[in-house]
Amino acid sequence: MTHSHRAQRWVGHADLDAFYASVEQRDCPEYRDRPVVVGALPGHRGVVAAANYRARDFGIHSAMPIAEAYRRCPDAVYLRPDMAKYSRVSRKIFQILGTITPVIEPVSVDEAYLDLTGLEKLLGPPASIGSEIKHRILEASGLTVSVGIGPNRLIAKLGSEHRKPDGLMVVHPDEVQEFLAPMPVANLRGLGRQTQKIFSRLGIRSVGQLRTVPLQILEQHLGTKAALSFQQQALGIASSEMVPGRGRKSISKETTFEEDVREQEILRDTLHKLAAEVAKRARREQLSGAVVTLKIRFTGFETHTRQHKLPVPTHDERVILREAWALFLNGNLPSKPVRLIGVGISDWQQTETEPMQADLFEQPKKREIDDRLLKTIDRVADRFGKGILQLGCTATKNTHKPR
């Protein structure tokens, strides 16, 4: 099957290898040959945020409780995350990707889809483009990246996963079926534990096996939408569309307490600090969110989330705190001690290009003063560290929820 250069779509997926841990190893040569785990510290509550490949050899992976990681490898280097540093490195890497193609869709701080269509004339065939991406990132940042290139997003993503770490995998359109066939179905997108159980029951282990199952049978077990999605993935059919402006879907922060907390004052103070950090990041990225999410975890990893949609998008911590606290008080949550609390905003409206809808009951002058005040707090925090200046937030009276 031949394609003209103009017609053939090429999508790249760039995924930095063990990003947080790799940045720490780069900055501290003494960590180079050791297992490195970034996240909570041993003896504290919390989970692994990132583990380098040495640590993964011990079965350590992200989201694993830190106590379990320590049990598997007490000799690893355990470090707290330095998010400001990782953000700086990430911005630099996205600038480098921008020298390859202007059409980039960030997925997270360490991962992006790239539209590479039509770049053959400039940089050569897809394998040369992939090598150039890897070379430029290594030279500028000292970090390795795995790159997958294929005719659509699914194949690009599976390609970058296929040869980690420091890999490069190009899958041409006529190689897609062969590339997918031996893969475990678990590699496909959107496959949760329940779907995995259904596939096991039907004896479907590989993508090649999935391809042979008639759509009607899949529909009986998975429902129409999921059946079609998995059948198309098995055939290598997926979108090649880029959404450059999409970037992050939400901004959130959470804290795991050393000991379970019952006191509302402590919970509210913690939410206040988290709301301030979320709001500051939103302002820095010129985003306003219309949905506030509260996350609560109790002992035994019982986790609840509650959401509220605002009439007017916000990047003001007072609004975020007010809404999150109202969700806590009125969200019909169990009256148990809290292990983790978190807050986030999503459903973006760009503050730079789309002015916020004016609140009918708020004077324009007050909004301007508020915006100036928030910017001043951000400047002070950038210069002297967070927490020096913080907005006072009016307490919501606890009239609903005895704890």
Provide the annotated active-site residues: 111
Determine how β-strand 111-115 pairs with β-strand 104-108: antiparallel
β-bridge partners, 302: 298
Q: What share of the chain is helix, strand, coil (3-state, %, to 5)?
A: 45, 20, 35
Tokens 């789309």 -> residue: 354
State the Cα–Cα distance between residues 313 and 345, nearest whole angstrom: 9
Contact between residue 154 and residue 233 where contact means Cβ atoms under 8 Å apart: yes
State both tokens at 93: 């890497």
For residues 78 and 37, the answer to whether their CB atoms sit within 8 Å is: yes
Q: Is cis: bond before 173, omega within 30 of 0?
A: no
φ, ψ dihedrals at 356, nearest 5°: -60, 140
Strand ranges across the sheet with 250-261: 250-261, 338-350, 287-298, 302-314
| Spatial separation of the C-alpha atoms in residues 240 and 94, rounded to whole Å | 20
Quickly count: other Cβ atoms within 10 Å of residue 278's Cβ. Answer: 26
Q: CA-CA distances (angstroms) from residue 192 to 47, 63, 231, 232, 317?
A: 21, 16, 16, 17, 34
CA distances from 79 to 40, 45, 158 (A): 7, 14, 30
d(CA 51, CA 39): 9
Phi and psi based region of residue 130 (left: phi greater than 0; alpha: psi -120 to 50; beta: remaining) = alpha
- The two structure tokens encoding residue 48: 């692994």
